[in-house]
DNA sequence: TCAAAAGTGTTTCCCATACACCCATGC
DNA sequence: GCATGGGTGTATGGGAAACACTTTTGA
């Protein structure tokens, strides 16, 4: 940013005492969505190694390194540190700033959302975390439950207001999925995928079955005819008729 | 928020040194949209009385009073201080956190959007502002221009990255207007308005003419049949056939 | 009687949905 | 062959857009 200013202004800035305002801490929280081996919607949670909420499960994220990085960069850095993904697409979700949401001090949290296929997640806990795991999201009368092979966590067990963050992320994702390309980010291989595979991703996110012929029509119209996706000559065979493969232009390398 | 914690955790919190993390300043900026006397999309700008960007025009807003208020409250408070509106509907837009967007120090800005009819705006500058004015928004090859009766400001003249904030607000508003009730907030009188009046608001926001018969159909279906809006017995006459008046249920008192 | 603006009705088209049916493979 | 999933085509319905037409006023 080029900021030209007068000598007068420069003097003001030089003696500006940055500490004279009360300042909240700023963190980012990232809702990392993925599909598990049975194509169920899942989210990455980290078991906190420190107070507050020690030993409770929480979203990955952490404090902003002020001055050195943007808020967006902070989200990407935390994601990199905790999952090994270095170029994930993070979209900003909402900023949570109720006093009291963190017992230490006022903490403003900028929430992000990322969609990452499971096999790309190199799960490793960061400095202030002990454990990380992918949990399938299930709904019941009493809200969300997060299930992995060892345990079930109910939404009230999550740290901070992270259940609210996840709920908002799911809502936003569902609203976006019809007219944004989000689903493509969850493909196992963007260079070789089938329509059925993409349809399963949509079904998982919308939580309802879709009609394959109609889904195909939309796909051909919105992606193939527009050139965003190219049909490959290859097909794969497992059971039934061989399946055409498609490739996302400008996707993974 | 009820936060139950162990004695061990309580001890940790007691000795927690809040200042050991670097902390950015947090501000809110509010994009106040209104329509001018000719129903053109307009925005409220404040001439800054202090460095940085002294004497430049900027969005209303200010620093978060940490611990005392939420980020949402901060936006509402600033709006109150600068426009006299105390119950305006502010919706969160986006959080801007690029280092360097403020020359003083890292400033994270949470942007909000509000829609307020012009006659409700009691424009008065706050402490750190000198002047406030409503500017009509015009577009040209070189971007946005902000015009009031005395001057024209181009978007590059605005303080900070406020041109980006306004651009994003307009985009978001346009995308929302079809399925949200935003336009109703801009009615001069929610207890007595005509379909044509509401249509003009939509036209201004979408920046294109709409078909009255079709607009009426949507209005009757979405608002009158659902009970959100009631038809009054009154009509008003100016030129041509008298016009039916409608009243928003649960609107202004 | 004419202009102006409100209000009604009709036609057309697109697109989402539903679903019947054919195709190519493994077994 | 037949089960399995891929792929094609068709019928239906609702909503958006375009527009012809009627109504009620002031001048």
- State pLDDT tens for residues B69-121: 899 999 999 999 888 888 888 999 999 999 888 887 889 999 999 999 999 98
Judgement on whether residues A155 and A191 belong to the same structural domain of the protein: no
A-chain residues within 8 Å CB-CB of B13? Answer: 51-52, 103-104
**CB-CB neighbours of A96 under 10 Å:** 24
- End position of a domain, from candidates B144, B176, B208: B176
Contact at CB, B13 and A54, closer than 8 angstroms: no
Judgement on whether residues B210 and B230 belong to the same structural domain of the protein: yes
* Domain enclosing residue B160, as ranges: 23-176
> Shortest Cα distance from B45 to chain A (angstroms)?
20
Q: Is B149 on the interface with A (CB under 8 A)?
A: no
Q: Indicate the pLDDT class of residue B18, thresholds 50, 70 and 90.
A: very low
Determine the length of chain A.
253
Catalytic, B131? Answer yes
Q: State pLDDT tens for residues A118-163.
A: 999 877 655 554 689 999 999 999 999 999 999 999 999 999 999 9
Q: State pLDDT tens for residues A92-107.
A: 999 999 988 888 788 9
Nucleotide nearest to B243 (CA to C1'): C6
- Measure, in angstroms, how far nucleotide D11 C1' is from residue A214 CA: 14
A-chain residues within 8 Å CB-CB of B161? Answer: 1
Read out DSSP for A151-195?
-EEEGGGSSTTHHHHHHHHHHHHHHHTTTSSGGGGG-S-TTSB-H
Mean pLDDT of A16-32: 75
Judgement on whether residues B129 and B157 belong to the same structural domain of the protein: yes
Q: Is A97 on the interface with B (CB under 8 A)?
A: yes
Give yes or no for CB of A179 within 7 Å of strand C: no
- Output the pLDDT for position A162: 98
Q: Is B105 on the interface with A (CB under 8 A)?
A: yes
Contact at CB, A3 and B103, closer than 8 angstroms: yes
Q: Please name the residue ranges forming H helices in chain B.
A: 7-14, 71-83, 162-176, 195-206, 212-219
Judgement on whether residues B136 and B155 belong to the same structural domain of the protein: yes
Q: Does residue B81 lie in a domain region?
A: yes
Mean pLDDT of B120-138: 77
Question: Are the C-beta atoms of B90 and B99 separated by less than 8 Å?
Answer: no
Name residues 64-93 of chain B with a Cβ under 7 Å from nucleic strand C. Answer: none
- Put simply, whether the predicted model's pTM sits higher than 0.75 gets the answer yes
Contact at CB, B9 and A51, closer than 8 angstroms: yes
Phi/psi at A181 (5° precision): -90, 20
pLDDT reading at A41 higher than 90: yes
Question: Around A141, how many Cα atoms within 13 Å sit in the side-chain half-sphere?
Answer: 0
Q: Is B64 on the interface with A (CB under 8 A)?
A: yes
Judgement on whether residues B219 and B131 belong to the same structural domain of the protein: no
- End position of a domain, from candidates B132, B149, B176: B176
Show which positions of strand C are touched by protein (CB under 7 A). Answer: 3-10, 16-20, 23-26
Q: Does residue A2 lie in a domain region?
A: no
pLDDT reading at A14 higher than 80: no
> Shortest Cα distance from B221 to chain A (angstroms)?
23
- Output the pLDDT for position A215: 97
Judgement on whether residues A234 and A144 belong to the same structural domain of the protein: no
**CB-CB neighbours of A249 under 10 Å:** 13
Structure tokens given for A121: 């997640």
- Output the pLDDT for position A18: 42
pLDDT reading at A4 higher than 80: no
Averaged pLDDT of chain A: 88
Judgement on whether residues B150 and B204 belong to the same structural domain of the protein: no
B-chain residues within 8 Å CB-CB of A98? Answer: 1, 70-71
- Output the pLDDT for position B202: 97
Q: Which residue is nearest to nucleotide D23 (CA to C1')?
A: B241
Distances (CA, A) of A58 to A30, A51, A117, A197, B224: 10, 12, 20, 30, 45
Count of domains observed in chain B: 2
- Output the pLDDT for position A244: 96
**CATH code of the domain containing A226:** 1.10.10.10
Judgement on whether residues B134 and B195 belong to the same structural domain of the protein: no
Q: State pLDDT tens for residues A175-213.
A: 999 999 999 999 999 999 999 999 999 999 999 999 999
Q: Is A65 on the interface with B (CB under 8 A)?
A: yes
Q: What letter does residue B222 receive in the DSSP assignment?
A: I
The rounded distance, in Å, linking the Cα atoms of A209 and A172 is: 19
Give yes or no for CB of B232 within 7 Å of strand C: no
Q: Which residue is nearest to nucleotide C22 (CA to C1')?
A: A241
Mean pLDDT of A45-64: 92
């Amino acid at each position: 940013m080029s900021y030209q200013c007068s000598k007068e202004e420069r003097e003001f800035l030089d003696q500006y005492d940055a500490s004279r305002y009360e300042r909240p801490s700023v963190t980012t929280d990232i809702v990392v969505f993925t599909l598990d081996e049975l194509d169920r919607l899942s989210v990455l949670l980290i078991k906190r190694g420190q107070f507050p909420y020690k030993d409770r499960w929480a979203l990955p994220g952490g404090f902003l390194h002020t001055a050195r990085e943007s808020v967006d960069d902070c989200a990407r850095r935390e994601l990199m540190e905790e999952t090994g993904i270095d170029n994930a697409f993070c979209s900003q979700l909402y900023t949570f700033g109720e006093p009291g949401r963190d017992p230490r001090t006022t903490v403003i949290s900028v929430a992000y959302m990322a969609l990452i296929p499971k096999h790309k997640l190199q799960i490793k806990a960061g400095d202030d975390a002990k454990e990380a795991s992918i949990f399938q999201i299930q709904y019941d009368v009493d809200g969300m439950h997060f299930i992995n092979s060892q345990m079930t966590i109910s939404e009230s067990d999550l740290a901070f207001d992270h259940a609210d963050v996840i709920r908002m992320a799911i809502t936003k994702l569902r609203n976006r999925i019809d007219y944004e390309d989000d689903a493509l980010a969850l493909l196992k291989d963007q260079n070789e995928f089938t329509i059925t595979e993409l349809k399963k991703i949509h079904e998982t996110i919308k939580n309802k079955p879709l009609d394959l012929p109609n889904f195909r029509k939309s796909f051909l119209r919105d992606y193939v005819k527009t050139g965003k996706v190219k049909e490959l000559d290859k097909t794969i065979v497992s059971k039934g008729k061989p399946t055409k493969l498609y490739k996302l232009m400008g996707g993974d390398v």
